Structure 1
Amino acid sequence: MTIMIIQGPHAPARSISGEILVHLQQLARAAGRTLELCSCSGLREFVARVRAVQSHRTEFMLLDPGELAQQVNEHPESGLGEALDNLSTPYIEVHDDSDDTLVPRDCWHNTPAATIIIHRDLATSYRIGLRIALKQLQNKNEQNP
């Protein structure tokens, strides 16, 4: 089963490196999971990727809106809230700046299992988010063998 990272655009200096991605994939593989990255260049694509997540294939999602957070917060009509509400897959938000967090609206029903913000350290945010996801999946498997 898969853990999906859906990532919005980042400035090159704030982007996740290939080395960090390989390390995250190794952590997931050691826990019997695969990790996939979907990088999105704009808000429309980001919302479409969230809508396309299928719970039979994706067990958990790490959601990193990057530079799109401000657009999402300014344009609730973008559909991200609706896409998250229809999501049956649990997710964790990961950030490297508190200004990039998504502000849930009163109408949003599906909120993240956690929001991880490590100032100026996206790689650590991802590592913590992945470890939380893996722990929750392990607990779920132990409860439902």
Structure 2
Amino acid sequence: MKTNNILLLFLVVLISINYTLAVVVSQQGGNIPNGSASNNRNKKDLQSAANDLQYANIFKNGAGTIANEGTVRIDMQGTFSSGGQKWHNLQGQLNGVKGKSTIAHVQVAENAMTDNKAQQNALVTMVINAMMDSYTSGKTYSVLDNGARNGL
């Protein structure tokens, strides 16, 4: 009997973890707008800047730099609406370069916002990973709630 209870508890925990991880997703899109070539130093600096991202800054409404490390900064470019959703436009950009300076681009949907601290931490990690995937691929990444949280 105890084995059945432990198995049931394990199943409930697994479903809970799966639900939490399946809600917010990262999707690859088209080419980075105003994309720029970069080097290994830029990649290292982008990773350091991305690691400094904080949940509140990801959902900031005003434009401005939200992380900065060496040759790279991450700017919140502002928000835009698309498909009935409000998005926050984050761009990894080269410092001191005028014109095409974007080396990574992530847009984060407001439907991914949450009051749950663990989910906030998971979202920040997903945005960091999306930023680095964007750098590597040269593509824009979108981070959004896939509808499971709201039963959509």
Answer 1 or 2: which has greater strand percent: 2
Q: TM-score, normalised by structure 1?
A: 0.29
Answer 1 or 2: which has greater helix percent: 1
Larger Cα-atom Rg: 2
